[in-house]
Every structure is written in C-alpha cells, then in structure tokens.
Amino acid sequence: MAKTVLVVDDDPTQRRLIQAVLEREGFAVVHAENGDQAIAKLTSGGACDLILLDLVMPGLSGQDTLKEIRARSFAQPVIVVTATGGIDTVVQAMQAGACDFFIKPASPERIIVSIRNALSMGALKGEVERLKKHAGGRATFADLVGNSPPMQLVKRMGERAAKSSIPVLITGESGVGKEVIARAVHGSSERAGKPFVAVNCGALPENLVESILFGHEKGSFTGATDKHLGKFLEANGGTLFLDEVGELPLDIQVKLLRALQESEIDPVGSKRSVKVDVRIVSATNRDLANAVKEGRFREDLFYRLNVFPIEAPSLRERREDVPALVETFIRRFNVEEGKSVVGASAETIAFLTSYDWPGNVRQLENAVYRAIVLADAPYLQPYDFPAISGVAAPIPEAGEPPMSHAHPPIASAGELMDDLPKDAPVRILDGRGHLRTLEDIERDLIQLAIEIYAGHMSEVARRLGIGRSTLYRKVREQGLEDVIREASGEAVPETDAESHAA
C-alpha cells in the first residue's frame, strides 16, 4: 500500500512541485493550505503516514500547527520546511516534535531521503513498542491486524471472554494466528502483565509430557537431577496457552482435567498436591468433537475446555485484511533486515489478495519475509513472490547496474520531467518517472512528424534528418503504415527502391 504524505503549505506551486516528486516515487499525496485545514484532515481520520509542514503560513503558523498536532496525540512523523534556516527556528521545531527539516528549495533526493528516514524511524518505534507488549504480556485486541467482519467478530468475542477467567478454546486452521488471539485474551484481562506461557502439546515428547506440564521432584525418575516446576507453576497467576491440545495422550488428559477442576497439580514424585492459579486458553486445528466420538479425546475434558469457543477465520475468509497484513509484515521485516522497502505495488496487492493462502497468515508472513530479503526496488513487485505469482524476476541486461532500494535514481529523470510541458506530444519518461526505450520514443516522434506534415514523407524525412528509404523502413518496422494512409491517403511503398522512385 502506498504511503500517504500530507503536504501543508500555503504556496500552491510549492505543493505541486513536492507532489510531483512524491508521486514519482509511489507516494500518495493530500494537500492542506494552512494549519487549520491540516488539523481538520487529521481529525477526520483521513489517511496520513507523514506530514510535510511549512513553518511560515498565514493564520495558524507551522510552529503552532506542530504543537497542536502533538497536543492532540497524532503520532505521524513531521518534517518541517522553511525558507529561512535560522537555527533558533529549527531548534524550536525539533523541540516541538519534528523529526527532520529541510530548507526550500530542496532537491528531490533530499526530500525523498528525509521522508524514507522518517518512515523507517516510525516503523522502528512501532516495532519496539510491539515487542515490549509481546514480552510484557500486554498485547490487546487493538493490536490484532485486520478489520474484516470475521476479525471484528473475533475481537468482540475475545474482549468479552477476557473480562472473566472462563476457559477459552480457539479453533481454526493451522497458521491463522491462534496464539496471537490467545495473547490478546491474556493482555486484555486482569492478568495482563503476568506470565503468559505457551506450550505446543504436539511437540512434547510422550515420556516427558507429564513432567513438562506439571513438574517433577529431584530424583523422581532417571535423569531428574534437579527439581522442575513445570508449565503450570511457570504460568501461576497468569495464563497457560495449550496449543494443539488435541495431541495430548489420554493419560495426561485425565491429569489435565483434574488440574482444571481442582486448580491443583501433582508434580511427578511429589507427595502432595500444589495449588495453582492459572487461566487456561487452549487451541486446536482438529475437530475435537469428532475426536471425542472416535475415543481419541476425553469427552469430559472437551466440555471443560470448550466453555467459550472462538473460531479464528482462515485468510481466504478475510481477504480484505491482506493489504494491512502485508504492510505490517513489511514494516517488521524492514526493521529486522535493515531494509527500506516502502510498500507493495497495487498489482502485487491485487494478486496477494486473490491468492487462497492454504498456509494462512503464517504463509503470507513467510512470503513477505522472503520478498523483503530479495527486494531491490522501493515497492514489492509480483516477481518478488515467484512461488505464488509464477512471475520470474527480470534479468538485467549486461552492464546494467543493479537497482538500489535505498536511493532510487530520481534526480536527472525528475528534473527532465519537470522541464517538459505536461501536454508534451512525445513522452520521454514512463508513468513511474523512468526513461522510455529509444525505440518507443522514436516511434512516437515519427508518428508525430507524419501527422504534423500531413503524410508528406519527403518533408518528414527532411525534418527528421534521415533519408526517405530509412524513413520508410522505420515506418514498416514500427507498424505506422496506417498513420500514413490516414494522414495522406497514400499507401506505403513495398520496398526501399520504390520509396526512392517515389
């Protein structure tokens, strides 16, 4: 998804110039003529990832606008723009919450680098905050990505469950994010900040399941050289998350049922029971009701765990959440890998959204991780997901330098585009601001000359500075015969010799 920049400047010419630079790099741009209008756009909830703020404006000044933005707790990074580089002005702006500044007129490179750095710093702060919440057991349902109807239902159900100590059973396919929901239940409850202990029941060695869950005393069995508390005591006062609970052996299911009913456990080798205060959240990707019928899961334990069921939707059931998930993963892996990918192109988002994702969110996360590692362009392209899109990366021509994702080459191309009239009949640059091929430019130029000189090929050749035979050859190579017929009503000679005779 393209990042949106709010440009706040009373000079319409300056706004248009900055817009041209930003849009060429794939950013979306919204305008505000003054501080009041900027505050109104932010308050209305319009898309905005970064603010470019002019300091000198009529009415509410840039300094006052910046103070008001921070007073209202808008967290978007702000880059201030000034025509006078007084040190006092800059210091005041930075103290008020600006993250960078530049002096007008600024080069396109300076503007883009400043914006990319500000967005990267914002992503870094967001990732640090996420990790703090994760480590401290304070992640809530507000931290879950996605606002599709199925996810809104999950959030509503989860928030209700979090208000009590009721056992929760989260069901859903593998990779849908059941542990993320479990952490949100814990972080939204009165136990937030207390231990959150996750156990993958399917990964426990069968002969050690009891010891790992309930603990053991020293010397209780061969190899028990020290006392072990077990997962229940580790989670005492907090939440124990039993992932893939359907994989537990039947004999352990009996002991788990007693732990749930009596709130006490019996460590291996211990002579007395130990009281525990643990909230149980379990999860499975299996049909436990069917497992009960087949005798693979205890019916009494099933009813004890399935008091408050929450079904986590598959990713194909919440396709509208894919763009937000992609943006979240890009931000996270940019920080982890030291990359500066801005986002994903519209074409990429379209095919990622339409894909079925049998591995759900986990598969999408891993696909974005790989794409970030390999990406060379500012925006992820379909060829960055070859296993999914089936599109291979373009092979650079011999001698062509590799693209740089950090500082795209915009200076010369951008200045050339700015110098051209907007309605130039022959376009030098493509829609992304890069030079078109010489063959495409030549075709447009020949077609324009034929139309201007009404198909008089001698005049066309003279104006283009080439021979008529060369001109006719290029016409046939470029498929412009119909242009000549429309302009002059004459057919194109079949051979160069005929063109000489003509």
pLDDT tens column, 50-91: 999 988 888 888 888 988 898 888 888 899 888 765 677 778
Strands 50-54 and 78-82, bridge-based pairing: parallel
What whole-number distance in Å separates Cα of residue 15 and Cα of residue 38?
13
Strands 274-275 and 264-265, bridge-based pairing: antiparallel
What whole-number distance in Å separates Cα of residue 485 and Cα of residue 502?
15
Top mean-pLDDT range of 54-58, 65-69, 113-117, 186-190: 186-190
Alpha carbon 47 to its chain's center: 15
Number of domains in the chain: 4
What whole-number distance in Å separates Cα of residue 254 and Cα of residue 171?
22
Which pair of structure tokens corresponds to residue 437? 């091929």
pLDDT tens column, 215-258: 988 877 877 778 888 999 999 999 999 999 999 999 999 999 99
Residue 296, classified by CB atoms within 10 Å of its CB into exposed (0-12), middle (13-18) or buried (19+), is middle
pLDDT over threshold 50, residue 404: no
CATH, residue 167: 3.40.50.300
pLDDT over threshold 50, residue 284: yes
| Mean pLDDT to the nearest integer, 110-130 | 81
Q: Assess whether 88 and 223 both reside in one domain.
A: no
Q: Assess whether 23 and 165 both reside in one domain.
A: no
Residue 148 in any domain: the answer is yes
CATH, residue 54: 3.40.50.2300
* Residue corresponding to tokens 């580089």: 85
Residue 334 in any domain: the answer is yes
Which pair of structure tokens corresponds to residue 430? 């493509």
Q: Assess whether 232 and 255 both reside in one domain.
A: yes
pLDDT over threshold 80, residue 494: no
Residue 254 in any domain: the answer is yes
pLDDT tens column, 308-363: 999 999 999 999 999 999 999 998 998 888 888 888 888 999 999 999 999 999 99
Amino acid at 85: G
Q: Assess whether 20 and 47 both reside in one domain.
A: yes
Q: Assess whether 151 and 291 both reside in one domain.
A: yes
How would residue 405 be classed by pLDDT, with cut points 50, 70 and 90? very low
Amino acid at 330: I
What whole-number distance in Å separates Cα of residue 59 and Cα of residue 36?
8
CA angle, 5 then 11 then 15, to 5°: 30
Residue 396 in any domain: the answer is no
Q: Are 238 and 196 spatial neighbours (Cβ–Cβ below 8 Å)? A: yes
pLDDT over threshold 80, residue 501: no
Give me the domain span that covers residue 462. 437-501
Provide CB contacts within 8 A for 272, sequence distance 6+: none
Q: What is the pLDDT of residue 500?
A: 42
Q: Assess whether 156 and 279 both reside in one domain.
A: yes
- What's the chain's average pLDDT? 84
Phi-psi region of 110 (alpha: psi -120 to 50; beta: other; left: phi over 0): alpha
Lowest mean pLDDT among 4-13, 304-313, 482-491: 482-491
Tell me phi and psi for residue 335, to 5 degrees: -70, -45
118 to each of 20, 83, 122, how far by Cα in Å?
A: 19, 21, 6
Q: Assess whether 128 and 149 both reside in one domain.
A: no
CATH, residue 352: 1.10.8.60
> How many C-beta neighbours within 10 Å does residue 109 have?
15
Q: What is the pLDDT of residue 56?
A: 83
Q: What is the pLDDT of residue 443?
A: 86
Bridge partners (DSSP) of residue 169 are 282, 309
Q: Is the dihedral of CA 48, 51, 57, 61 positive or negative?
A: positive
Amino acid at 488: S
Q: What is the pLDDT of residue 491?
A: 64
Quickly list DSSP for 404-424. Answer: -SSS---HHHHHHHHHS-TT-
Q: Assess whether 243 and 339 both reside in one domain.
A: no
CA angle, 24 then 27 then 29, to 5°: 105
Give SS3 for 172: coil
What whole-number distance in Å separates Cα of residue 244 and Cα of residue 202?
6
Q: What is the pLDDT of residue 312?
A: 96
Q: Assess whether 126 and 178 both reside in one domain.
A: no
Residue 256 in any domain: the answer is yes
Question: Which among 289, 313, 337 is the end of a domain?
Answer: 313
Residue 26 in any domain: the answer is yes
Residue 284 in any domain: the answer is yes
Question: Which among 70, 105, 132 is the end of a domain?
Answer: 132
| Mean pLDDT to the nearest integer, 125-154 | 87
Q: Assess whether 209 and 263 both reside in one domain.
A: yes
Spatial strand order of the sheet with 239-243 comes to 196-200, 239-243, 279-284, 168-171, 308-311
Residue 455 in any domain: the answer is yes
What whole-number distance in Å separates Cα of residue 216 and Cα of residue 227?
6
Q: What is the pLDDT of residue 431?
A: 62
DSSP state of 392: P
> How many C-beta neighbours within 10 Å does residue 200 have?
14
Q: Assess whether 112 and 21 both reside in one domain.
A: yes
Q: Assess whether 324 and 309 both reside in one domain.
A: no
Question: Which among 313, 337, 366 is the end of a domain?
Answer: 313
